[in-house]
Structure 1
Amino acid sequence: MLNEPDLERAAFDLRLALARIVRRLRQAHEPGDLTLSEVSVLSRLDRDGPATPGALAGGERVRPQAMGNTLAALEQRGLVARMPDPEDGRRVSMSATEAGRQLLLDRRSASTRRVTHALAQGFSPDEQRRLIEVIPLLDRLADSL
């Protein structure tokens, strides 16, 4: 196991590297495009199906008020829709609209093409395998934060 200073340095370097990747991928999108929070919520609704604002706030680890703002922005753009919660008609449930799903598909395709090109052009087959092997660890790290 690494000592505390080594872990802190690794955590700092990892955070910087991930921030650079996200920033570079975001730079490819149009100004006025979705925020990272909006993309995350829309992706969650697309992947997991309808959810209440409270459940979304818990899943994204944000305050309900912040989730309300994010959902309002997505709803205003026609990317999510509200409907009565099937389990409790007094509550509301949010779902991705067809326009929201299509926007995600377009974004994913463009981002995936950029990453695929970078991996193919800038990394050896061994480096590509090593990067692929670390993905589950990064997912686990994201879940533990």
Structure 2
Amino acid sequence: MSDVTDIDETAAALRVVASRLYRRLRAEAGNAEYSAAQVAVIRRLLDEGPATTSELARAEGMRPQSMSATVASLVDAGILTRQPDPNDGRAVQVSLSDDGERALRQGRSAKQEWLVRTLSERFTADELHTLTAAVALVERMLQPDPKDAL
């Protein structure tokens, strides 16, 4: 095993490069003007469908008041729409508008195109194999720790 200094340096470098990649992908998608909370709400609604503001706040670990402000800004921007909750007439659900869904899908496509172009233009076949192996390692790092299940 590497010594602690190497692990600390690797951890720091990984954190920095992951953050830079995240910012670059957001810029490529054209959603750099959205906050991290707004992007999280948009993604959650695309992946899981309509939700109430309270459900979104719980899912994202935010205070309900903060989530209300986040949702309101996205409704004002035309990214989300509000409609009555079909299960509770007193509640309101939010969902992606057609424009919001279209913008998100275009953003995902732009990110993928940038990645493919960059990988194909800047890396050799051997380097691409190394990156493929590194992606698998990062994926493994993100899996739940089996010790936490005990």
TM-score (norm. length: structure 2): 0.77
Deviations 1:50-81 (A, max 9, x none): 11111111222222222111111110011111
- Look at both structures and tell me which one has the larger radius of gyration over its CA atoms: 2
**Equivalent residues in 2 for 1:76-115, closer than 5 Å:** 76-115=76-115
List structure 1 segments (4+ residues) > 4 angstroms apart after TM superposition: 1-10, 29-32
Contact 1:41–1:56 (8 Å) recurs in 2: yes
Secondary structure in structure 2 of the residue aligned to 1:101: helix
Structure holding more strand per residue: 2
Shift of 1:85: 1.6
Secondary structure in structure 2 of the residue aligned to 1:93: strand
- Give the Cα separation in 2 of the matches to 1:56 and 1:39: 12
- Give the Cα separation in 1 of the matches to 2:4 and 2:92: 46
Shift of 1:117: 1.9
Q: Output the aligned Cα RMSD.
A: 2.8
Secondary structure in structure 2 of the residue aligned to 1:90: strand
Provide closer, same or farther for how the CA distance between residues 73 and 120 of structure 1 changes in structure 2, counting only shifts above 3 A: same
Please name the residue that 1:50 is paired with: 50
**Equivalent residues in 2 for 1:16-95, closer than 5 Å:** 16-28=16-28, 33-95=33-95
TM-score (norm. length: structure 1): 0.79
Which runs of 5 or more residues in structure 1 are unaligned? none
Provide closer, same or farther for how the CA distance between residues 37 and 15 of structure 1 changes in structure 2, counting only shifts above 3 A: same
| Number of aligned residue pairs | 142
Quick check: 7-16 or 40-49, which moved more? Answer: 7-16
